[in-house]
């Protein structure tokens, strides 16, 4: 059968394919994202359907599991997010906004990994000189670091096959291309096929590979969704542009939990780990000011304290304005409704703002109580006590519901020098004896009780 090239239109945002051009992608609703790409409809696809009879299966009991070799990256925060280090042969996708520090963190770990392995750093974005200048700044000078400025995926794979480095970094996958595919670098087909090539290479030679992926304007990884299915780990680097703190989060991890976060600070000599994020997040808390309360949120296995600020002012227009940063907007509306109906605090003709300091996102119901206390405190203009923090989920009846990991949260509060912690009353029963006594634990049943205990 003669090979025939067919043209399809692929959405650059979500990877949706259509045989004809469309102004608006039916899958993700974006406009002007359908680009023409040529796909070869021959050999490679038909080959899969013809069985060569070489498929083999192994008994699960006979498969050796001892191969999961992990090695550290020299950054404990990164190791934690990866689930205890990089697994041999894994493919990791690191993504995040431009300028957030993806290239910086990868170059930084080269120094440590270079002590035991050769590292191949492939850059399609920067020149070797630029990388050298940055490496100088970061103090990376190992002889085991090889820099390659290339964008041809196949020749890079060829090099990896012959030289077999111990660790490979591809910065970034959007610049990689395969010559045979006619579409331009960064297009859906190119990104998908290049990732497939690197994945096969990583598995075949057990070389851990990190690829950098750009994000589109919505903050999702640019390119096809399949990219996230192919790789073993997806890491997101987040942070506010104007703040120096960066949070590394695992969205997918085949070798560990996805709840862990790593906290870094961008300094003039690269990223520094922040081993004690609670301290950093609450350090600037104003004294004797109303409308601020400390919350404790679980990020994976680690409790982190954060400052929640609420501001309530009389609205000049009929409808109160609500705004929230770092806390779910709909949950804020719900909390305000509960406070109004169940606790007797009226917000309907007031503007209410909530802000979580440090760019942290509170997505856990256990932080409800701190948000409510910050808002009430601002409404009444009474400061919450300095030595007090609060955890608890608020139900629609204004009651406090039990929270998980209560002991860990209490221990973290105690470690940071808090004297009193307000928890839902039901949680008191579950606490072990050893923890009681170190810090005053106040059990409350509803929001009003909690507020009275906190001022």
Which residues form the interface with ligand TYD (CB under 6 A)?
96, 98-104, 134, 137-138, 266, 268-270
The first and second tokens of residue 412, run together, are 């973290």
The first and second tokens of residue 107, run together, are 């170059």
Q: Which is nearer to ligand TYD, 291 or 358 (CB)?
A: 358
Q: How far is CA 320 from the centre of its chain?
A: 33
Residue 98 binds which one of Mg ion, ligand TYD, none, with CB within 5 to 8 A depending on kind?
A: ligand TYD
* Closest residue by Cα to residue 234 from 250, 212, 258: 250
The CA-based dihedral angle spanning residues 171, 173, 174, 177, taken in that order and rounded to the nearest 10 degrees: 110
Q: Which is nearer to Mg ion, 103 or 194 (CB)?
A: 103
Residue 370 binds which one of Mg ion, ligand TYD, none, with CB within 5 to 8 A depending on kind?
A: none
β-pairing, 245-253 vs 302-314, is unpaired
Minimum distance from residue 244 beta carbon to ligand TYD (Å): 8
- Residue 265's CB: how many other CB atoms inside 10 A? 16
* Closest residue by Cα to residue 384 from 302, 442, 323: 442
Question: Contact, 13 vs 28, CB < 8 A?
Answer: yes
Minimum distance from residue 369 beta carbon to ligand TYD (Å): 36
Within the chain, how many helices (H) and strands (E) appear? 13, 23
Residue 87 binds which one of Mg ion, ligand TYD, none, with CB within 5 to 8 A depending on kind?
A: none
Minimum distance from residue 226 beta carbon to ligand TYD (Å): 23
Instruction: Name 70's Cβ contacts closer than 8 Å, sequence gap at least 6.
Output: 84, 85, 86, 87, 88, 255
β-pairing, 70-71 vs 17-18, is unpaired
Size of the site for Mg ion (CB under 5 A): 1
Q: How far is CA 203 from the centre of its chain?
A: 25
Beta strands in 291-339 (DSSP E): 292-299, 302-314, 322-325
The CA-based dihedral angle spanning residues 195, 219, 172, 197, taken in that order and rounded to the nearest 10 degrees: 0
Residue 104 binds which one of ligand TYD, Mg ion, none, with CB within 5 to 8 A depending on kind?
A: ligand TYD
Minimum distance from residue 260 beta carbon to ligand TYD (Å): 20
Q: Helices (DSSP H) in 170-255: which residue ranges?
A: 188-205, 226-230
**Span near Mg ion by CB under 5 A; candidates 97-105, 151-159, 315-323, 447-455:** 97-105
Q: Which is nearer to Mg ion, 153 or 410 (CB)?
A: 153
Residue 70 binds which one of ligand TYD, Mg ion, none, with CB within 5 to 8 A depending on kind?
A: none
Q: Which is nearer to ligand TYD, 98 or 417 (CB)?
A: 98
The first and second tokens of residue 280, run together, are 């950093």
Minimum distance from residue 386 beta carbon to ligand TYD (Å): 34
Q: Which is nearer to Mg ion, 170 or 312 (CB)?
A: 170
**Span near Mg ion by CB under 5 A; candidates 20-28, 95-103, 128-136, 141-149:** 95-103
Instruction: Name 318's Cβ contacts closer than 8 Å, sequence gap at least 6.
Output: 349
* Binding status of residue 189 toward Mg ion by CB under 5 A: no
Minimum distance from residue 240 beta carbon to Mg ion (Å): 18
Determine the length of the chain. Answer: 455
Residue 337 binds which one of Mg ion, ligand TYD, none, with CB within 5 to 8 A depending on kind?
A: none
* Closest residue by Cα to residue 187 from 38, 337, 317: 38
Minimum distance from residue 97 beta carbon to ligand TYD (Å): 7
Q: Which is nearer to Mg ion, 125 or 152 (CB)?
A: 125
- Nearest residue to Mg ion by CB is 103
* Binding status of residue 103 toward Mg ion by CB under 5 A: yes
Q: Which is nearer to ligand TYD, 143 or 268 (CB)?
A: 268
Q: Which is nearer to Mg ion, 103 or 253 (CB)?
A: 103
**Span near Mg ion by CB under 5 A; candidates 35-43, 101-109, 318-326, 442-450:** 101-109
Minimum distance from residue 323 beta carbon to Mg ion (Å): 33
Q: Which is nearer to ligand TYD, 266 or 379 (CB)?
A: 266
The CA-based dihedral angle spanning residues 179, 183, 187, 189, taken in that order and rounded to the nearest 10 degrees: -70
Residue 100 binds which one of ligand TYD, Mg ion, none, with CB within 5 to 8 A depending on kind?
A: ligand TYD
Residue 297 binds which one of Mg ion, ligand TYD, none, with CB within 5 to 8 A depending on kind?
A: none
Q: Which is nearer to ligand TYD, 58 or 268 (CB)?
A: 268
| Local structure of 138: helix, strand or coil | helix
Residues that bind Mg ion in the complex, under the rule CB under 5 A:
103
């Amino acid at each position: 059968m003669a090979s025939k090239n067919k043209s399809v239109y692929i959405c650059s945002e979500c990877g949706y394919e259509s045989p004809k051009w469309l102004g608006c992608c039916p899958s993700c609703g974006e406009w002007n994202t359908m680009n023409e790409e040529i796909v070869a409809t021959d050999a490679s696809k038909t080959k899969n359907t013809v069985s060569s009879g070489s498929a083999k299966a192994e008994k699960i009991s006979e498969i050796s599991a001892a191969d999961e070799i992990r090695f550290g990256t020299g950054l404990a925060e990164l190791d934690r997010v990866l689930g205890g280090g990089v697994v041999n042969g894994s493919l990791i996708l690191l993504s995040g906004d431009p300028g957030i520090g993806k290239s910086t963190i990868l170059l930084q770990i080269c120094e440590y990994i270079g002590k035991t392995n050769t590292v191949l750093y492939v850059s399609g974005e920067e020149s070797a000189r630029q990388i050298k200048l940055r490496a100088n700044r970061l103090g990376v000078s190992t002889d085991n670091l090889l820099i390659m400025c290339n964008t041809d995926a196949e020749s890079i794979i060829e090099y990896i096959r012959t030289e077999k480095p111990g660790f490979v970094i591809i910065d970034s996958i959007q610049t990689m291309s395969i010559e045979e595919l006619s579409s331009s670098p960064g297009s859906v087909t190119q990104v998908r096929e290049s990732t497939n090539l690197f994945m096969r290479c990583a598995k075949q030679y057990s070389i851990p590979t990190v690829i950098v992926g750009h994000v589109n304007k919505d903050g999702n990884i640019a390119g096809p969704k399949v990219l996230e299915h192919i790789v073993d780990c997806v890491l997101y680097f987040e942070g506010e542009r104007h703040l120096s703190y960066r949070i590394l989060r695992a969205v997918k991890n085949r070798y560990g939990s996805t709840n862990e976060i790593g906290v870094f600070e961008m300094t003039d000599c690269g990223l520094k780990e922040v081993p004690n994020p609670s301290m950093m997040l609450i350090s600037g808390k104003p004294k004797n000011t109303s409308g601020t309360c400390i919350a404790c949120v679980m990020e994976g296995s680690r409790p982190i304290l954060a400052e929640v600020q609420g501001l309530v002012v009389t609205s000049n227009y009929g409808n109160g304005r609500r705004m929230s940063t770092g806390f779910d907007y709909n949950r804020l509306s719900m909390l305000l409704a509960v406070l109004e109906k169940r606790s007797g605090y009226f917000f309907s003709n007031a503007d209410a703002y909530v802000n979580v300091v440090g760019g942290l996102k509170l997505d856990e119901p256990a932080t409800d109580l701190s948000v409510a206390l910050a808002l009430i405190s601002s409404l009444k203009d009474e400061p919450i006590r300095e030595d007090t923090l609060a955890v608890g989920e608020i139900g629609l009846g204004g009651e406090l519901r039990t929270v998980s990991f209560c002991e860990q949260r209490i221990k973290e509060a105690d470690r940071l020098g808090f004297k009193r912690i307000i928890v839902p009353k039901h949680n008191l029963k579950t606490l072990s004896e050893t923890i009681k006594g170190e810090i005053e634990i106040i059990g409350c049943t509803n929001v009003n009780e909690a507020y009275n205990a906190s001022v």
